[in-house]
Every structure is written in structure tokens, then in C-alpha cells.
């Protein structure tokens, strides 16, 4: 059972999404808070994960980040990781206010950029009783240096400096494509599989997705270091899901971060790449997450 929802952030922005409830019983239910990754909107397979959770007796709060999709917020298409982390914590507060929620059994799930957020939220917020981090970003600095050629970094930094001058003068923020068909062309996620997944999923499932973010979003990506929090998650149980051929949020960085996490923890490795957790590896990824939440919530 799915209902449309909206709730306010602590600073007054309205976020919108879905409340999934199991079809059996009236609750209160253990509840998983879920949002999507870099520029993605909830229609990009989050409904599929929430449906699996609902069949197992888990409720879900699924929402779009501020500035994206159905949610409010300006500037549109801007990704501020700190504000998105705060949005997760606001969503937890909203979930706990609902009569269908068991307020003492809250989990968080995230994937890719929101997989990073899930790590940080679980480290900071003890209302979280279990966390699943799927194909997460670990280090903005290190990851960017996998995606951006070394001889191009100075040019990108110059663009960011010019954007700051223009915004200070009152002009609109500069924009960048999220993906490009040519991986060598400027974009936030310059890999061939990023182009293929976003464009196909936009066409098939998510017409509200837009292929643009503010340039400042990429600058904030480079500053973001979620892996620094991973040892602080314990004693909250952590499941990390890693695609062994993931070259967008590099698999070796995620595996090394998992080694720094304390118990209780579990690692699931998938054979595919970054986006296969939503498609060909979906059953394994969603099943493991469902089992983790069912065990620990």
C-alpha cells in the first residue's frame, strides 16, 4: 500500500514522496527511510526496493531530496550533501510522528551518493537502528581523481572560481550535465554506464529527472568525505553492498572503508557494476537489505 506524503525540513522546505505500508496488519511497523543518489529521483527504482520491504512487513518513507523531483527547494538541481543529510534526519523525525511507525525501529537505506549519506546519518543519529549502504561514495577527493584526468583538474577549479564570482555578482549558478554520451565530454558522472542508465531510466521510469546539476554541486562533491564517519557507525548494524566491477564509486575504496567499520557489520559483494544493483543484481541487493532490516529492526 502506497500513499503520497509531504513533510517539512527543519528549515521549512517541503519534501515529497511516498509512504509504503505492508498490506497485513495495522502496525506500528519498523520503518526504513530512503532517498536516491546523485541527481536521481525516487521513480528510479526506489519503488521496487520499497515494495520488497513492504512484502516483508517493513514500512518505508521514500522521498525526493530538496531541489529535485517532486520536492521543493532552490536553486533547482543543486546537490548539497550536508543539506541532504539533514533531510534524512528530518525524514526520520517525520516517520516517527506517524502512528503506523514503530519509532524505536527505524532504519536508513541509501545508494551511491545517498549510500554515503546513509553512512553519515547512521554515525550521527542514534535513532537509526540499522543501516544499508549500497554502492556508496567513500571519498569525494579520491573518487574525483578517478573520474577527472589530472591535467583537467586545474581547469575545473578555474570554472568553479569563475562561477563563484558570477554568483557573487548576482548571476544564476553555472550548470553542468549529469551525464554525457561521450565520457570525455564535461559532465558530473563521466562514465559510459552512467549515461546508459540515466538516459534509459529517465525514458522508461522517471520523466521528472533532469540531466543537469549546478556546477557548485560538483564542487561540493569534491569536498565530501563520508568515509571519515564509518568507524563511528558502530554499534548500529551496517550492511554494505559493493559491486565488484563498480568504477563510478570505486569498489576498492568501498571495500577498504568496510574494513575500517566496526562490528556489527556485513558485506555483500555483487558481480556487476554501479547500476546493476537496480537491475540485474536487484534480487540479491534488495533481498540482502530486506533480510538485514528484518533481522535488526
Structural domains of the chain sorted by starting position, each given as residue range(s) with its CATH number in brackets: 2-139+225-296 (3.40.50.1820)
Phi first, then psi: give them for residue 86, nearest 5 degrees. Answer: -65, -35
E-strand stretches of 52-135: 59-63, 101-111, 128-134
pTM: 0.96
> How crowded is residue 92: how many other Cβ atoms within 10 Å of its Cβ?
22
Query: Which grid coordinates are listed for 33?
Result: 527511510
Whether the pLDDT of residue 66 is over 90: the answer is yes
- Check: CB of residue 91 under 8 Å from CB of residue 63: yes
Cβ-based neighbours of 5, under 8 Å, separated by 6 or more? 16, 17, 18, 19, 61, 63, 94
The 10s digit of each residue's pLDDT in 243-267 is 999 999 999 999 999 999 999 999 9
**Looking at residue 74, what DSSP letter applies?**
S
Instruction: Write the Ramachandran bin of 268: left for phi over 0, alpha for psi from -120 to 50, otherwise beta.
Output: beta
**Mean pLDDT, the chain, integer:** 97
- Check: CB of residue 78 under 8 Å from CB of residue 264: no
- Check: CB of residue 179 under 8 Å from CB of residue 199: yes
pLDDT for 153? 87
Q: What is the mean pLDDT of residues 122-128?
A: 98
As separate numbers, helices (DSSP H) first and strands (DSSP E) second, the chain gives 9, 10
The 10s digit of each residue's pLDDT in 155-186 is 989 999 999 999 999 999 999 999 999 988 99
Cα Rg for the chain, rounded, in angstroms? 18
Q: What angle do CA 44, 48, 35 make, to 5 degrees?
A: 55
Amino acid at each position: 500500500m502506497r500513499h503520497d506524503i509531504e513533510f517539512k525540513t527543519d528549515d521549512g522546505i517541503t519534501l515529497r514522496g511516498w509512504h509504503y505500508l505492508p498490506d497485513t496488519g495495522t502496525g506500528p511497523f519498523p520503518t526504513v527511510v530512503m532517498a536516491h543518489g546523485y541527481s536521481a529521483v525516487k521513480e528510479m527504482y526506489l519503488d521496487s526496493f520499497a515494495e520488497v520491504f513492504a512484502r516483508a512487513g517493513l514500512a518505508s518513507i521514500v522521498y525526493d531530496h530538496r531541489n529535485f523531483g517532486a520536492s521543493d527547494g532552490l536553486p533547482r538541481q543543486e546537490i548539497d550533501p550536508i543539506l541532504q543529510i539533514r533531510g534524512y534526519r528530518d525524514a526520520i523525525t517525520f516517520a516517527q510522528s506517524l502512528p503506523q511507525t514503530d519509532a524505536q525501529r527505524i532504519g536508513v537505506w541509501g545508494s551511491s551518493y545517498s549510500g554515503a549519506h546513509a553512512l553519515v546519518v547512521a554515525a550521527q543519529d542514534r535513532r537509526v537502528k540499522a543501516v544499508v549502504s549500497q554502492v556508496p561514495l567513500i571519498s569525494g577527493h579520491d573518487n574525483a581523481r578517478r573520474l577527472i584526468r589530472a591535467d583537467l583538474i586545474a581547469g575545473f577549479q578555474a570554472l568553479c572560481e569563475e562561477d563563484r564570482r558570477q554568483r557573487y555578482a548576482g548571476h544564476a549558478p553555472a550548470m553542468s550535465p549529469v551525464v554525457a554520451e561521450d565520457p570525455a565530454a564535461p559532465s558530473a558522472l563521466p562514465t559510459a554506464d552512467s549515461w546508459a542508465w540515466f538516459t534509459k531510466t529517465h525514458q522508461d521510469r522517471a520523466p521528472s529527472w533532469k540531466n543537469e546539476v549546478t556546477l557548485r554541486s560538483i564542487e561540493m562533491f569534491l569536498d565530501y568525505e563520508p568515509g571519515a564517519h564509518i568507524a563511528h557507525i558502530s554499534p548500529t548494524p551496517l550492511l554494505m553492498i559493493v559491486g565488484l566491477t563498480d568504477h563510478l564509486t570505486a569498489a576498492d575504496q568501498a571495500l577498504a572503508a568496510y574494513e575500517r567499520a566496526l562490528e556489527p557489520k556485513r558485506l555483500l559483494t555483487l558481480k556487476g557494476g554501479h547500476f546493476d544493483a537496480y537491475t540485474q543484481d536487484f534480487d540479491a541487493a534488495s533481498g540482502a537489505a530486506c533480510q538485514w532490516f528484518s533481522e535488526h529492526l
